[in-house]
Chains A and B, each alone.
Chain A
């Protein structure tokens, strides 16, 4: 096999997602074909309702397409069952959500450990990996705090640590700065930039140009179709 195929992480072939709303069919994704290579930094953009989140959910194996083929790391995941998808989500995907989605009753350490528990990692190893991921996002001094004892930016860092801890193939972030002010938003984006430099593959959903400018590649959606797919020349680098 040649180098190009080896490094393809995501391969979409004519993916559609159709929702039945009453008598009407909503084509949230309407024939998407694209590929994403290892260590790419992609921003998925488009107006509200264009299908960004739907695409993200399918990439992240939270949802399955109505039709089309999705290969993740060379494995066809388009028609896997729930539990197989759960396994893929656990091992290959790291999610960062707009609303953080941390477990409110658990402290930072436990939130970050959780994917490892579901991954069947023994407790000593688990603790070590979780602490490393927390250190990675700079929250070692908050390790036993509950989410409601943290600021928004800190919560999102915990979410990033949780996404990183299993060393997934892709980091998926759906509007990660949507609930943060500009300054903390920038801090989170700096974190993503660093993670990208360290070799991670990152896919970012956003409708803000300021945020999208961090990525190397921009995919614009409109009405469930790809309108535009371009490499970015003048990336913004935060000092």
Chain B
């Protein structure tokens, strides 16, 4: 063991002496690795950021919640017209599910329209007004920051009350307590009962905080558009029972919509799973293409290292002969050159990471990520790996040199 350590130390010493003796050449060859590691790290950081952004968005859709809607999520293929011509999902179906389902823990109908919201002179445009049942807090990840949400009684009675998103609250009530105030939603008066906790945006698109929630029966009276389809959110009692829950809901829906056994479903039961699958498909392709392209630059860097290591072996043929003459076994010579190329690449990797770090902070401004430690460690590992791989052939050739011929080499 001690012996290997001494050999390793000797290998390091030779490697750094060689790198120091050929500064310019070392810098130039390392450049390839620097660029390779730089691009791979940044790509990795960006992919990691996309992933995080996605997962944060998904937190608003629970894994145990089903969304019964006219449109299916994910790839719709060529069936756009078929979905479009379906009957809307109606409030009656939410009532039926609530009445008959045994596997559902909570059922909440919801519908949305865009309206302007006013309080005194303050105006917020293009707010999503959501008509919802009272079970919203159970079926979504949203929580009330202060005040309260409306009750079942207030929903069923269609009371003019609302709970507002944090962004709406901040815009309408910068220095005031909103609770109990009356705001105008699309021209109708509503009393504010509560303010939601900040939720962020969904898939980087619509803000979940620029919303006003009103009782769905009030919504039907004041904001209902001509078509007026709703979504029904169903929270299952257990994630393990998801498949059974879906089957049960499908049966209730078909019965409620009076489908005959030969009709196919004219509604969709969506779940987080579908988005995860779609994202994994798209995200997987983006990641694969991105890493492949950046990996190419690392590959080219590796070729450069291999090339320079061949030069280094040839230049030092005599030295190899001397070392062999005084008893260096093949393994030692192999190790010596592997250490040299791994060290070159590791230096390149470290410099690449040092440059990548400030750049990753720029990525951080539009994706929720800083360069995670795991990527740094992986990058260092990859650079050593590239060094060992590209150094192997030259090192192997060095280790096989015949001592007599090498000693004669000038």
Q: Does B363 contact A (CB under 8 A)?
A: no
Q: Roughly how many angstroms separate A162 CA and B327 CA in the complex, as a whole number?
A: 12
With an 8 A cutoff between CB atoms, is A123 at the interface? yes
Q: Which of A76-124 contact B (CB under 8 A)?
A: 82-83, 86-87, 89-91, 95, 97, 101-103, 105-106, 114-115, 117-120, 122-123
Q: Which residues of B contact A118 (CB under 8 A)?
A: 7, 323, 326-329, 332
How far does the alpha carbon of A57 sit from the alpha carbon of B405 in the complex, in Å? 11
User: Which residue of B has the minimal Cβ distance to A102?
Assistant: B322
Judged by a CB distance under 8 angstroms, whether B403 is at the interface is: yes
Q: Report which residue of A63, A101, A106 has the largest number of chain B beta carbons within 10 angstroms of its beta carbon.
A: A101
Q: Answer yes or no: A26 CB below 8 A from chain B CBs.
A: no
B17, B327, B331, B403: the one within 8 Å of A115 (CB)? B327
* B interface size (C-beta, 8 A): 25
- Does B3 interact with chain A (Cβ within 8 Å)? yes
* CB atoms of A57 and B404 under 8 A apart: yes
Q: How far is the CA of A29 from the CA of B210 in the complex (A)?
A: 95
Inter-chain contact A105/B17, CB cutoff 8 Å? yes
A103 touches B2 (CB 8 A): no
Would you call A86 and B328 a contact (CB within 8 A)?
A: yes
CB neighbours of B248 from chain A (8 A):
none
- Mask: chain B, 82-96; 1 = CB below 8 Å from A; 0 = not: 000000000000000
B2: min CB distance to chain A, Å = 6
Cβ contacts under 8 Å, B332 to chain A = 118
Cα distance, A60 to B403, chains bound together (Å):
11
Cβ distance A83 to chain B, nearest Cβ, rounded Å: 5
Interface centre among A95, A105, A106, A118 (most CB of B within 10 A): A118
Out of A57, A90, A105, A122, which one reaches B327, CB within 8 Å? Answer: A90
For A114-150 the 0/1 string (1 means CB < 8 A from B) is 1101111011000000000000000000000000000
Inter-chain contact B6/A86, CB cutoff 8 Å = no
Are B327 and A86 interface neighbours, CB within 8 A? yes
A60 to B404, CA, bound (A): 10
- Asked if A62 is an interface residue, CB under 8 A from chain B, the answer is yes
Q: Which of A101, A120, A122 contacts B325 (CB 8 A)?
A: A101
B324 at the interface (CB under 8 A from A): yes
B10: nearest residue on chain A (CB-CB)?
A117
A117 to B336 alpha-carbon distance, docked (Å):
13
- Shortest B101–chain A CB gap in Å is 76
Q: How far is the CA of A95 from the CA of B330 in the complex (A)?
A: 19
- A161 CB to closest chain B CB (Å) equals 12
Min CB–CB distance B74 → chain A (angstroms): 62
B305-336 residues with Cβ-Cβ distance < 8 A to A are 318-319, 321-332
Which chain B residues (321-358) contact chain A, with CB distance < 8 Å? 321-332
Q: List 8 A-B contacts (CB under 8 A).
A: A57-B404, A63-B403, A86-B324, A86-B329, A103-B319, A114-B326, A115-B327, A118-B328
B-to-A contact residues, CB < 8 Å: 2-3, 6-7, 10, 17, 21, 318-319, 321-332, 402-404, 407
